Amino acid sequence: MPYAPFYQYIGLVEEEAGMARTIAELEGRRTAVLKEIAEIGDMRRGSIAERYRQCGKHPCCCEQADHPGHGPYYSLTVKAEGTTVTRHVAAGGELAKVQREIGAFRRFQDLVPQLVAVNEEICEARPVEGGVEEASERQAMKKKLPKSSKRRSRGRSSR
């Protein structure tokens, strides 16, 4: 489930709903989440696949049924603009770098729903500015506007 962290966070918010949090506490949480996002650094979408292949040469040991094949070979797969793009990734330093960047992106994906949820809580907790004045203006407008006429149904004529 790609949205599991979001639903886990929503569960935490619902648990804390019994505890009324102040706007200052919520803004502090938002600042903390934004700080975590800012510290993520380089990130990229995608996934790493580890593959083993048979070479196809007749005397090679990879022809045997119990042999896994040559490898491992690593590839990075990314879906971009409706197409899937796969490229080879060298084992060692490049592989470690790509794995670190993908991990950073997954952390980013976990933090964004938390940021949205905290912002929604802040929006709900903030009082409406000019709420009393707007209500009295609405009441005054209702008194000034003409009432809409109700359409009277005509009786059915029998032919």
Residue 28 is assigned to a structural domain of this protein = yes
Looking at the DSSP assignment, which residues form a beta bridge with residue 75?
49, 88
pTM over 0.95: no
Residue 116 is assigned to a structural domain of this protein = yes
The range of the structural domain enclosing residue 95 comes to: 4-126
Higher confidence at residue 150 or residue 35? 35
Q: How confident is the model at residue 107 (pLDDT cuts 50, 70, 90)?
A: very high
Residue 154 is assigned to a structural domain of this protein = no
Residue 143 is assigned to a structural domain of this protein = no
> 76-102: per-residue pLDDT in tens?
999 988 999 999 999 899 999 999 999
Start-to-end CA distance of the chain, whole Å, equals 65
Overall domain count for the chain: 1
Radius of gyration of the chain from its Cα atoms, rounded to whole angstroms: 30
Higher confidence at residue 70 or residue 140? 70
> 19-45: per-residue pLDDT in tens?
457 888 999 999 999 999 999 999 999
Q: What sign does the dihedral 93-91-40-15 (CA atoms) show?
A: negative
Residue 64 is assigned to a structural domain of this protein = yes
Residue 131 is assigned to a structural domain of this protein = no
